[in-house]
A and B are shown apart, each in its own frame.
Chain A
Amino acid sequence: DSGVTQTPKHLITATGQRVTLRCSPRSGDLSVYWYQQSLDQGLQFLIHYYNGEERAKGNILERFSAQQFPDLHSELNLSSLELGDSALYFCASSVDVRDRAFGYTFGSGTRLTVV
């Protein structure tokens, strides 16, 4: 157990629908990152939150949004879903954005299947 909790583990939904993925960071970590891994692809950075504030955006579609709440958990909202949104979505956390030698601790991911 990495200490980063993602729910649900699996999600199957239809095109056009909206889903919410949830992430609880490791205790004490202030940063939350979201990544997407499509079939045979590397992990693509989506967005970073630090202590409730958005810090950086990557290749995140306008149909996707995220937020980090006062208790530091984060939610990734995916709307108007398309077949191509089927992927593994990972959340990661870190305690200090300056500690770049260590990197992040990842959760086990949410597998989203859009049918």
Chain B
Amino acid sequence: DQQVKQNSPSLSVQEGRISILNCDYTNSMFDYFLWYKKYPAEGPTFLISISSIKDKNEDGRFTVFLNKSAKHLSLHIVPSQPGDSAVYFCAVNTDKLIFGTGTRLQVFP
């Protein structure tokens, strides 16, 4: 059973606008959540994380929001740039990283 779900396989956003990527999880005991970005022919790279004691964490253009009651997190990218086009994975960190299936973001001019 999928413990981390990204229900949108793809997202297309115009340059300069906001990109919102969503992620749902099943276990309320999860306490560390991470976002990774992956370009073709490269491994995933760490973007930003949040612990369950917070509801928001910000790093430059990237902000992650955590809604524990809904077991939902989202990644906001503002403003979106063409270089942000990649596959984004959310993950929970237990004794290992458990990944969602990813959302392919395309930022067009």
User: Taking beta carbons and an 8 Å cutoff, which residues of A are in contact with B?
Assistant: 2, 4, 33, 35, 40-45, 48, 55-56, 58, 90, 92, 97, 100-109
Say whether chain A's binding surface is mostly helix, strand, loop, or mixed. loop
Q: How far is the CA of A42 from the CA of B31 in the complex (A)?
A: 20
- Taking CB as reference atom, which chain A residue is nearest B93? A100
Set of chain B residues within 8 Å of A100, measured between Cβ atoms: 31-32, 93
B interface, over-half SS: strand
Number of residues from B at the complex interface, CB < 8 A: 24
The answer to whether B96 touches A56 (Cβ under 8 A) is yes
Give B residues with C-beta under 8 Å from A.
4, 31-32, 34, 36, 41-46, 49, 51, 89, 91, 93, 95-102
CB neighbours (8 Å) of A35 from chain B are 99
CB distance from A92 to the nearest CB of B (A): 7
Listed A/B pairs (27) with beta-carbon separation below 8 Å: A2-B43, A4-B43, A35-B99, A42-B4, A42-B100, A42-B101, A42-B102, A43-B89, A44-B99, A45-B98, A55-B95, A56-B96, A90-B43, A100-B32, A101-B32, A101-B34, A101-B93, A102-B46, A103-B34, A103-B36, A103-B46, A103-B49, A103-B93, A103-B97, A108-B42, A109-B42, A109-B43
